[in-house]
Amino acid sequence: MAKSENQEKEISDSLMVYLKPRVLAILFLGFSSGVPYGVLTGALSYWVSKIDLTPSEISLLVAAGFPYTIKFLWSPIIDQVKLPLLNKLFGQRRSWLLLSQVFLVFSIVWLGFTSPTQDYSETYMVAFLIALFGATQDIVIDGFRIEVLEDDEQAAGAALYIYGYRIAGIIFSIGVIYIYNLFDIDWAYLFMIGSLLMAVGILATLFIKEPQHKATEEKLKIQHELEKIMQEKKILEGKFKEYFAWIYMSVIAPFQEFLTRRGWYVFLLFALFYKLGDSMALSLQTKYFLSLGFDDLVIANSGKAVGFWALLAGLAVGGALMNKVGLWKALLICAILQLVSNLSFSALYIIGTNAWFLAFTMGFENFSTGMGATVLVAYLSLLCNRSFTVTQFALLSAITQFTTRILSSPSGYIVEYTDWFWFFIVTAIFAVPGVLLLFWIRKIEDIDSKQLNLAHDEV
């Protein structure tokens, strides 16, 4: 009886964590982060799939998200620089958030007034700007999420972040198809309507509290050692000394700390390959369904709508799976499911225009994607040292974005060289390295029993 009561209490506590204001706020910030993602992979992808662009031209547009892959380069600036005037009004984190969000509004509106067929380069450039401001927003949100949440709240925060992120993405996938087909609205107005969704993030930024910036013991120790060296050597004086100290603490120290860890290169390779096959399959989904002969509304209802609910279920199951079997096993299970889900697209190619199997395929793919996304974000968060959260998470998430934006961009060429059936077989093969790297990680670190210890101040 006592055991049953303890289990009920544990379940209650695990659910109540999602209702904490600081954890719940991550849901709305995740939605804001998902708007530019939805614009680029949902609305823009559907738009160019309906017009006379080749699969290679469509997949190259994915590479316009390049800023997501190098965001760690300017993350130290965002981590340290305080914006004039805005910092006094909103604080350092919130002022950077608001600035990036306002620029996103204008960029999304601008995208609707471009023409991919008449001026492909302009469309590409505006997509690049949306990625640039979206990546900047993500830097701030990732740092905010890790700083404001306790260690036992990180998994819940990761789940809610991805919920919000994916909800925004699906609105731009399903919502755009419905509005375009039911109202025959011009694309310029569609993107104007889409830009209004940034209001969710802007309002969330205005209402949330600025996280407290605490100097950890490790960071203070590094600063003290740096000051001592500069005084002994007498090589830096005045303003230049301040600049050097800032660059060292903002840029050198975060990367130096990460690169001194045992097996650091394995962690980076894992972040690169874990979702490679999944990202390749995602990049041309809409074009694939249209090429099979599916109607737009069938794609929206049997495909993307089913996929949306499956994704939400996957996000929840991913969090529960971590608690049940541990982080390493959860990562392994999700990696295998992501690999197998890609094969269902090849099966759909054989079966043809069957709405029921389309629903199964999208449901399976999105369920495994949701599970994998939750455990991956939780794992990357635990890899970050609390002294350098913004820069280190920007580095790790940028590597995953390199997979999504750059490594998946040749997908169209693979389709044109082979065909749709073999393309998805290839994407499943590209998912294998992520599975194998997990066993290498297990040899380096017992991530379940030690919780990596890298989320704490001691390394």
Both 236 and 336 in a single domain?
no
| Residue of 289, 313, 256 whose CA lies nearest to 49 | 289
**269 and 225 together in one domain:** no
Give the alpha-carbon dihedral of 66, 71, 72, 73, to 10 degrees: 90
Q: Check whether residue 200 and residue 223 sit in a common domain.
A: no
Provide the token pair at 298: 């069938």
| Cα–Cα distance measured from residue 57 to residue 420, given in angstroms and rounded to the nearest whole number | 16
Q: Which amino acid is at 63?
A: A
Do 175 and 118 fall within a single domain?
A: yes
pLDDT of residue 47 exceeding 50, the answer is yes
Q: What's the rounded Cα separation, in Å, for the pair 116 and 105?
A: 20
Residues 348 and 386 in one domain: yes
Q: Is residue 449 part of a domain?
A: no
- Half-sphere exposure of residue 259: CA atoms within 13 angstroms, side-chain side: 7
Same domain flag for 184 and 232: no
| Rounded Cα–Cα distance for residues 101 and 88 (Å) | 18
On whether both 370 and 433 belong to a single domain, the answer is: yes
Q: Is residue 8 part of a domain?
A: no
In a domain, residue 400? The reply is yes
Domain that holds residue 218: 214-245
**Is residue 117 in some structural domain?**
yes
Q: Where are the alpha helices (DSSP H) in 293-419?
A: 296-298, 306-325, 327-351, 355-383, 389-402, 411-417
Q: Is residue 177 part of a domain?
A: yes
The larger pLDDT score, comparing residue 419 to residue 53, is at 419
Q: Is 446 left (phi over 0), alpha (psi -120 to 50) or beta?
A: beta
Residue 12 lies in a domain: no
Question: Do 344 and 207 belong to one domain?
Answer: yes
Question: Same domain, yes or no, for 232 and 305?
Answer: no
Identify the CATH number of the domain in which residue 394 sits. Answer: 1.20.1250.20
- Residue 109, domain member (yes or no): yes
HEC readout, 118-160: CCHHHHHHHHHHHHHHHHHHHHHHHHHHHHHCCHHHHHHHHHH
Q: What is the pLDDT of residues 94-128, one digit of tens each?
A: 899 999 999 999 999 999 999 888 888 999 999 99
Q: Based on the structure, what is the number of domains in the chain?
A: 2
Give tens-digit pLDDT for 273-321.
888 888 787 777 878 888 888 888 888 887 778 888 898 888 888 878 8
Coil, helix or strand for 259?
helix
Say if residue 218 is in the same domain as residue 208: no
Residue 364 falls inside a structural domain: yes
Q: Tell me, yes or no, whether 290 and 427 share the same domain.
A: yes
Same domain, 108 and 226: no
> Exposed/middle/buried for 68, CB within 10 Å: 0-12, 13-18, 19+?
buried
- Summarize pLDDT for 351-369 with one digit per residue, the tens: 988 999 999 999 999 899 8
